């Protein structure tokens, strides 16, 4: 992935990072996401899956980061799927 593409994506989604280390981490996640999207869309073109994927403003985030944005704090360590939260149902 080119540096220009990364910079363009950051401008498009108004992304900035507190430290160079944080930016490097987020860029690595973004590159992994772009690769996953590309591989998936190749399967789509072959008719192996029924939908296309795209890169959006969340491409630099891990699943646990997205959960944290939504108030979730626990992630199942073996699958990265959220642990259900049990709350009383109002009566």
In a domain, 14, yes or no: yes
In a domain, 61, yes or no: no
Residue 22 pLDDT exceeds 60: yes
Angle formed by the axes of helices 3-12 and 20-45, nearest 10°: 100
In a domain, 45, yes or no: yes
pTM of the model: 0.74
**Domain housing 10:** 3-55
- Percent of the chain scored above 90 by pLDDT? 68
In a domain, 74, yes or no: no
Residue, of 66 and 91, whose pLDDT is higher: 66
End-to-end CA, the chain: 53
Residue, of 77 and 91, whose pLDDT is higher: 91
Quote the longest CA-to-CA distance of the chain.
55
In a domain, 40, yes or no: yes
Total domain count, the chain: 1
Q: What is the three-class DSSP state of 2?
A: coil
In a domain, 63, yes or no: no
Residue 79 pLDDT exceeds 90: no
């Amino acid at each position: 992935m080119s540096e220009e593409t990364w910079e363009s994506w950051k401008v498009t989604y108004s992304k900035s990072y507190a430290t160079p280390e944080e930016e490097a981490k987020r860029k690595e996640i973004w590159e992994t996401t772009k690769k996953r999207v590309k591989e998936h869309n190749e399967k789509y073109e072959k008719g192996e899956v029924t939908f296309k994927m795209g890169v959006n403003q969340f491409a630099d985030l891990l699943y646990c980061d997205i959960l944290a944005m939504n108030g979730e704090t626990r992630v199942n360590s073996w699958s990265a799927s959220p642990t259900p939260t049990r709350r009383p149902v109002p009566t």
